[in-house]
Structures are given as C-alpha cells and as structure tokens.
Amino acid sequence: MDVTDEILGEALKHFDEAGIASPVQEPGAVLVLGLATKPGQDLDEVYFDGSRMRFNGWRTHVKPRIEAVLAAMADRGLEASAAGWWGYPMSLDIEPGTELMHLKGLAVTAGLGRQGRNTLVLHPRFGPWWRLAAIRTEAPLRSTGPGRYDRSEHPACRDCRACIEACPTGCLESYRLPDRRRCRADVPDEPVRGLISWCDCCLAACPIGR
C-alpha cells in the first residue's frame, strides 16, 4: 500500500467518496472529497446571524471531517491545507488574482463522476445528491482518474432533459447555467434574510441516485 492508498483510506473513513486530481498543480495534487446528502446530514442548512449567512450544515458535517483528514496527513508528514473554508472554495475566500477552484472539474478529473445536463457532477450511486470539498497538498499523490477535465456528454443525459424541464426559472441550459442570478439557489454577495431560497428542482428531477 503506497501513500496515495493510505490517504484515500483515511479520507474514506470520513467521507463517502474520495479521489485525487493530479497533476493539476505543480508540484502536488488535490484530494477531492465527496459527502452524500442524507437524512440528518443537511449540508445546506444555513442560519442568519444578523444579516450574515452562516453555513451551519457545512460547519457541522464537513469541517470536522476535513480536520480529521488533515490530521492524518500531518501524521504522515504531508503538508496539506483545506481549499477555501473547510474545503469549500468560494470567490469570497480566495486571494485577489487567485483562480476560483472549480470543484466539479476537479471531481471529474479525479474520476469520481461526470457532469450532467444540470451542470452537477453525477455520482454513480448518489446522482447529484452529494457535495464536494477539497484539500490541496504538495505531496505527489497518484491520480485516481483520467487526470483531465472530460467535458463529453454524460451517457445518462443523452435522451433525458428532466432537469432542464424542471427548472422553475428556465435558467438552466444543457450543461450550462449562463446567468447564475436567475438560479433560485443564487446567493447574493451580501445575504439578507428572506433572499435565499434553496432550489433543488434540477436535482430532484434527475433519475440518477434517486
């Protein structure tokens, strides 16, 4: 068992899915982690502290898992850090000039799934009902996937347009969401109570992982 298998084994003690996208940075790799949405594990749970939105679900369910994986990597002498807050990179968190980490592309690169028409990465078992997080490391870990961002059509979506038809605002095009402000899940830069309405219509319509 090499260091890549050991790290993946550690990650899978805490997450439902794990893979490595490499080489996406030189030197090193990105450990891509997936957590399925389950009853009692609502990663979308948010609450408001004044006008600030707090991602309580992510804090409760993802943060301790990320910390456990980081600790296991540190025990092996591997330098690593969570991408963005607790593995969730948002444009709000990244340094000026730094590119936003595209978790969906990384998950595809790591071989964990492929993007569907709803733009989400469809997992063979969970379908769109899983969330992604990432850990950057300089350790030379072995890639678990094709090592490139495959943008070919998802076979399961070829004859299916269920997500496009289910979108209540019509903002979803095949494999693209050209204007995110029209998506009901859009989060304004300065969240204010009442503005957020999570919408899972394009997930609920997907026949994969039901």
Residues lying near ligand B12 in the complex (CB under 6 A) are found at 44, 88-90, 100-105, 115, 118-121, 128, 130-133, 151-153, 172, 175-177, 180, 183, 185-187, 198-200, 202-203
Residue (3 or 183) nearer to ligand B12, CB = 183
**Shortest reach from residue 67's CB to ligand B12, in Å:** 17
DSSP 31: E
Residue 7, judged by CB atoms within 10 A of its CB (0-12, 13-18, 19+), counts as buried
Residue (76 or 193) nearer to ligand B12, CB = 193
CB neighbourhood size of 5 (10 A): 11
**Shortest reach from residue 96's CB to ligand B12, in Å:** 16
**Using omega within 30 degrees of 0 as the cis cutoff, is the peptide bond preceding 27 cis?**
yes
Residue with the CB atom nearest ligand B12 in the bound state: 185
Residue (49 or 197) nearer to ligand B12, CB = 197
Angle formed by the axes of helices 63-75 and 3-14, nearest 10°: 150
| Cα(148)–Cα(109) distance, integer angstroms | 5
**Shortest reach from residue 77's CB to ligand B12, in Å:** 28
